[in-house]
Amino acid sequence: MRFNVLVRRYGEFVVAHARIVLGFSLLLSFIACIGVAGLSNDPDNRVFFDDDDPKLIALEALESTYTKSDNVFIALAPHSAQVFTPRVIDALLELTGRAWQLPHSSRVDSLTNYQHTRADGDDLVVSDLIESTASLDAATLTRLKNTSLAKEFLVNRLISADASVTGLNITVQKPPADDSAIYAIADAARQLVEEFEVLYPQIDFYLTGGVMYDVAFANLPTQENALLVPLMFALILIVVGVSLRTVWATVSVIILIALSVGVAMGLWGWADTVLNAGTTGAPVIIPTLAVAHCVHLLVTTRHRMATGISQQQAVTQAVCTNLAPVFITCATTAIGFLSLNFSEAPPFRLLGNLVATGVMVSFILSMTLLPAFLAIVKLKPATGKPLLQPLMINIAEFVIARYKFLSVSLPLLVVVAALGTTQIELDDNFIKYFSDKFELRRDTDFIEQRLTGLNAIEYSIVATEEGGISEPAYLSGVDEFVQWLKAQPKVTNVGALPVTMKELNRSMHADDPFYYRLPESRALAAQYLLLYEMSLPFGLDLNNSIDIDKSQSRVVAIIQDASSKDMRDLNARAEAWLQAEHSELFTEGSGLSMAFAYVSERNIRSMLFGSLLALLSISFILVLALRSVRTGMISLVPNLVPAAVALGLWGYLVGEVGLSVAVVVAVTLGIVVDDTVHFLNRYLRARRDLGMSAEDAIRETMSTVGVALWITSMALVTGFSVLFLSGFKVNAEMGILTAVTILIALVADYLLLPSILMRFDRRPLAAAPAPG
C-alpha cells in the first residue's frame, strides 16, 4: 500500500513540474549523447576470442614460432580461361612486383616467383619459375604449364588444376600498436586491383584475405547502421503511428527511442568503448525494446482520458499503473541481455551490456521525460473502441469457450514443434559471415570455387632435438601425415617440409622423377636444406615453414568450402591419426580458422549456463512481483515456449544455425517476459481488486492490455526483422529468430496463457492490491 502511495506521489510530482523534469531529462540526455564521439571500431576479427581462449593462445604460439599469417590474396581469372598466355603472365609478373610495395608487405608468393630448383653439376640452382615474358613462345608456355601443374605446392593454392585461374598471396606484418595500418593496407590493395583492372580488361581480378576481412569487420557497424537504423525508425514510426493514430504520441515515441539509443551508446562512449561487428545490432535492438514502454504508457493515458478525466490526471494514473510492470519488464529484459556475459565471444558480452544499458535508460526516460512531455502537449483521448479491441474481445471469448481443449492441444503442439530442435546442426563458416551483397564475399566465393580454399588447419610438428627436422624418421612420419591429409575430403592442398625435400632430392638427381622421394640420410637432408636456404632471395625464406633452430616444421592443410563442423571433424580425425600412427609427432590443430571453428561450440555450452541463471533470476522476480508462487510458475510457460517452438521450427525448416543460436534463447527470454508481466498484472488486478471471476478477468485483460501487447509485439517484430537485412550472418539469424520468437510469444499470451489460467486459477482470490 505504501508503495502505491509513493508511486502516486511520484506521478503527481512529474506532472506538476513537467517542464522542469523535461528540461532536466533532455539536458542530461544530451550530455550523455556527446559521449558517442568516444566510440571506435576494432579492425581485428580476433575480437571474437578472449585473451585466454585456448585456440587463440595456440594460434599466437604458432605465429610466434613461424610468421604471422595476415594476408591479402588476389586472384586473376583471364576471360580466355588460360593462365599461360603472354598477356596474363605479363600481368602476373607486374602485379607480383607491385605487391611488394604494399604497406607492411613482407612476402609475396605467386606462380611467377615460385622458387624453382634444378641442378647444375654439383650446384643447386634456385630461381623464379617465370622471370620475364621476353621468350615465352608456345612451347615454353606449355613447358611452364606442365611444370607448374606438377608442383604439389602450387596446384589448388596458386594455380587451379585446370590452369584457368591463378593468384598471389601477400603476407603483411601489421604494426601491433597502429590500428590504422590495416586500413592503409586494404586501401592500397584495392587501388592496386582497380589499377590493374584498367590495364588488363581481359582479366577479372578478385580480392580477399585476412586483412580484407579485418577491415570488413571494422567497417560493418558504420555501414550497417547507416541503413538499418533509419529503416527501423521509419518502420516503427509507421507501426506506432497507425496503431495510436495521434501525432504527439508518435512524436513522443520517436524522441524517447532516439534518446534511449543515444544515451546508452554515449555512456559507453564516455568509457572509450571499442565496438566491433558483433555489436552492430545494438542501435537497432535498443530502440526496438524501448517502444514497448512508450506504448503501454500512451495507451493507458489515452484510455483514462476517454473516461472524462483531465490529461494531467490521466498521465499521473498511467505512471501509477505502469511504473511497477514496466520496471519488472525492463529488469527481466536487462537480465536476459546481461546473461550474454557468459558468452565465450567478447562481442556478445559487449552487445548484452550495451542493450541492457539501453533498456534501463529507456525505463528512466519513460518514467521521467515521457510523462513530462505528455503532460505538456495536447493529446487526443481515445475515441470509441480502439481499432483492435473487438478482435481482442473475440479472442477472449474464444479462449473462454474452449480453454479445456486449448490447454491440452496447445502444449501438445508445442512439444511437437520443440522436437525440431533435435534436427538443428550447429555449424558455421567464418568466411561466410558476410552475405553476398558484399563484394568481399563474392570475391571469396569465386576464389573458393575456382582456385583454392581459404580455411586452413595448421600443425606445428616438433622433432626430438635441434636440427631434428632433417631426420629421415621425422620426415617420413610427417610425409605420411601429409599423404593422409591430402586424401581427406575437401582438402585441396597440403604444404609441408617433406614436399620441399622431395623437390630438392629430385633436382639434385638431374630432375629424375625416380628421386621424387625423401633423402635417405639426415646429413643429406640437412645439406639440401642448407643449400636451398642459402639460394633463396630475401623475403622468400623458409621462416614460414620451419623454426629458427630447425626443431619443428609447419604443416598447412588448405580446406575448400569447409564449415566449422567440417573443420572440427577433420581435425579430430587428424589428431586421432597422429596419435595412433605417430604418437611421437602428435600435436593439436591450430590456426585462425580452427579458432573460429570451435568458438560456436564453446559458446553454446557457456550460454546454456547463462540462460539457466537468467531463467532462475527472472522466475524469482516474477514470483515476488506477482506475489504468487503458482502464478509465477504459470508465467514460465509462455516465457519458455516461444524460444523452444521458434528453434524447433528452425530445425525443421532450416536445420543449421551458427553462432547466433547461443544468444537467441537468452535474449528472447528477457523480451517475451514483458508481455506476460503486463498480462498477468492486469489479470491479477481484475481478480484481486475487482473481485472478478477468471472468465471476466480474461475479458478485462484482453480488452485493455491486449491492444498494447499487439502494438508492442508488432513493433518488436518489425525492429528485429530489420536485422534480417543485415549483411552479417550472425545479426541476420539473430534478428529473424528473435522476431519469430516474439510472434510465437504473442500467440502464447493470447491463447496458451489465458487457457492455463482458466484451468488452474479457478479459486476465488482475496481482494488485495496488485503491484503498481
Alpha-carbon span 301 to 680, nearest angstrom: 20
Average pLDDT over residues 275-282: 80
Confidence of residue 350 (pLDDT cuts 50, 70, 90): very high
- The pLDDT, as a whole number, for residue 251 is 85
Average pLDDT over residues 417-429: 82
Confidence of residue 324 (pLDDT cuts 50, 70, 90): confident
Query: pLDDT per residue over 66-114, tens digit each?
Result: 977 789 999 999 999 999 999 999 999 999 999 999 999 999 999 999 9
Query: pLDDT per residue over 202-214, tens digit each?
Result: 999 999 999 998 8
Confidence of residue 133 (pLDDT cuts 50, 70, 90): confident
- The pLDDT, as a whole number, for residue 640 is 82
State the DSSP string of 641-662.
HHHHHHHHHHHHHT-EE-TTHH
User: All 3 cell numbers of residue 421?
Assistant: 530442435
- The pLDDT, as a whole number, for residue 220 is 79
Contacting residues for 371 by C-beta, under 8 A, at least 6 apart: 11, 14, 15, 18, 21, 297, 315, 316, 318, 319
- SS3 of 284, please? helix
Q: What is the pTM assigned to this prediction?
A: 0.80
Alpha-carbon span 116 to 535, nearest angstrom: 11
Task: Give the lowest-confidence range in 508-512, 630-634, 712-716.
Answer: 630-634
Average predicted confidence (pLDDT) for the chain: 87
Q: Are strands 425-426 and 656-657 parallel, antiparallel or unpaired?
A: parallel
Confidence of residue 254 (pLDDT cuts 50, 70, 90): confident
Average pLDDT over residues 495-513: 92
- The pLDDT, as a whole number, for residue 769 is 44
Decide if 243 contacts 74 (C-beta within 8 A): no
Closest CA to 19 of 372, 341, 340, 302: 372
Decide if 93 contacts 206 (C-beta within 8 A): no
Confidence of residue 715 (pLDDT cuts 50, 70, 90): confident
Average pLDDT over residues 328-338: 87
- For the chain, percent of residues with pLDDT exceeding 70: 96
Confidence of residue 235 (pLDDT cuts 50, 70, 90): confident
Decide if 610 contacts 79 (C-beta within 8 A): no
